[in-house]
């Protein structure tokens, strides 16, 4: 039981760190004058968001941030 609680606490800390660092990310290129229309995503466990404006993309499995440049797609 203690192991499950420990894993839950670590997972919560990771989620908080990813969300706080991605809140300060730059806007997607589609929102920058003269920019392209390619955006990337970040995942916090089971939910995937668009970098920059944090729009919900859908479900995912894993943990990555915007710097990983995963999930290239046309900006929404």
pLDDT for the residue 36: 64
3-state DSSP of the chain: CHHHHHHHHHHHHHHHHHHHHHCCCCCCHHHCCCCCCEEEEEEEEEEEEECCCCCEEEEEEEEECHHHCEEEEECC
Q: How confident is the model at residue 9 (pLDDT cuts 50, 70, 90)?
A: confident
DSSP annotation of 26 reads P
Structure tokens at 21: 């660092």
> Which of 41 and 11 is assigned the larger pLDDT?
41
Compute CA 14 distance to the chain's CA centroid, rounded to the nearest angstrom: 12
* 20-71 per-position pLDDT tens digit: 665 555 555 545 545 567 888 888 888 898 888 888 888 988 888 888 888 8
Domain ranges of the chain: 2-74
């Amino acid at each position: 039981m203690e192991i499950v609680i420990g894993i839950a606490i670590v997972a919560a800390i990771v989620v908080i760190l990813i969300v706080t660092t991605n809140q300060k990310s730059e806007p997607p290129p589609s929102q920058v004058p003269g920019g392209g229309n390619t955006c990337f995503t970040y995942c916090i466990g089971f939910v995937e968001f668009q970098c920059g404006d944090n729009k919900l993309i859908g479900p995912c499995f894993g943990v990555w941030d915007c710097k990983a440049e995963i999930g290239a797609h046309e900006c929404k």
